[in-house]
Amino acid sequence: MSAEGLAQAQDKMREAGVAPAAIDVFTHYYGELEAGATGLVLEETIEPLLDPDKLADVEISEEAAAAAIQKTAVIKLNGGLGTSMGMDKAKSLLPVRDGKSFLDIIAAQVLHAREAYGARLPLVLMNSFRTQDDSLAELGKHAGIEVDGLPLDFLQNREPKIRVDDLTPVDWPADPSLEWCPPGHGDIYTALLSSGVLDALLDAGFLYASVSNSDNLGAVPNAQIAGWFAQSGAPYAAELCPRTPADRKGGHLAIRKADGQLILRDTAQTAPEEMDYFTDEFRHPFFHTNNLWFDLVAIKKALTERGAVLGLPLIRNEKTVDPTDGNSPKVYQLESAMGAAIEVFEGATAIVVGRERFLPVKTTNDLLLLRSDAYELGDDAGLRLAVETAPLIDLDSKHFKTMAKFGARFPHGAPSLKDASSLTVKGDWTFGANVTVTGDALLADEGDARTLGDGSTLAG
């Protein structure tokens, strides 16, 4: 059935107007799937990366930094809907600080950097069909955000979900939109090319791209890193941070024994019996932030030479067609990771940056922390710790996981967390106004809904 399944999937993509380059990439991964590829990276095939460059040790002149950021474009991955937090719109529209959304703060970061360095510094979003309209409307509130007639966004591609049982594209008449999925953020390279944005940036004189997730407000435009990247001559670079026990699930770089090439290994590429190696923060001491830098000329050359198929490792993601219905047909989503492109480019490198450049919001735990006084918004619109160590937040997922539940239980905003080491909430608790948390605080499950009164102090 696989030859027939591929033909059906290709026809479905053509009928939907998917770009030919994206169909070629999908065809490549379908072949990998049919051949039994799993994308696993075995521990015996790699060496840990132990001594990458560190930004703290880099000396870049102000002139070199300013010259590099003049030629840099900022690209934000903005296709996520925040479904894990109960959202059905772009996660980047969520208010984070003082009523400002992720996109509001990102726009402020870019506008500040333009003024500070006299740089054009275009901001470009990689949107999905579901995030495009709302996100562009949000950016439109910021006068002057568009640069040189360059587009503010381009669309990531989409592909059919493939049935596990016969490798044909799944049909789901109850909601045909669920028949489709994004190809993972590794699609950024294909989408940049097929959208024409890559050529537009090159034609406008830009040489470098600084790429990060829109839910990571720590990835502020940085001229020093731009200067380091330009000076390195590398075609591609990844930002890393030292791993802590809290980072054990994050992907990491390693050195492939076969050829000495840097590669990325994610959780989905690790065999279950080797997870002990993967999660060992001493064996693999740095994690991959998904903040990337690449040379636009090198990207264009590689895509042109390879017919848009970079050949990033397959990530075979098994799900059900309807994520909310465990009894719906099992499907494969054929994905790739943006950061895996590091293995495509000879001379690719990495640099260790400060933890302040990695502030992702994946859960309401993360959001509560960033909304609290444990962080402050700088003049450059960067969010940074206002305390020595961020407190650990653990909210009961039954009552706080979705934004609707979270908002109902924090109607007056985040409590004061600057003097807290941790906050653990078990059960159904609503927080009053001006609550202060200190030390290692715990709210136990009392069996019914409870309220922490206005002005309360919760001490650990």
CB count within 10 Å of CB 96 equals: 22
List the one residue out of 214, 208, 240 whose CA is nearest residue 226. 208
- Residues 307 and 295: their CA atoms lie apart, in Å, by 18
- Listed in sequence order, the DSSP H helices in 96-148 are 102-117, 132-139
- Whether the CB-CB separation of 354 and 55 falls below 8 Å is answered with yes
Bridge partners (DSSP) of residue 352 are 54, 240
Strands (DSSP E) found in 302-415? 315-320, 330-335, 349-352, 375-377, 383-385, 392-395
Structure tokens at 456: 């309360």
According to DSSP, the β-strands at 159-160 and 153-155 are unpaired
Catalytic residue among 100, 300, 319, 362: 362
Side chain identity, residue 277: Y
- Residues 33 and 37: their CA atoms lie apart, in Å, by 5
Is 12 one of the annotated active-site residues of the chain?
A: no
List the one residue out of 241, 246, 213, 210 whose CA is nearest residue 228. 210
- Residues 423 and 441: their CA atoms lie apart, in Å, by 5
> CA quadruple 213, 219, 222, 224: dihedral positive or negative?
negative
Q: How many CA atoms lie within 13 A of 445 on its CB side?
A: 8
Structure tokens at 338: 């943006």
- Residues 262 and 47: their CA atoms lie apart, in Å, by 10
DSSP code of residue 66: H
DSSP code of residue 360: B
List the one residue out of 431, 336, 425, 438 whose CA is nearest residue 387. 438
Catalytic residue ranges: 362
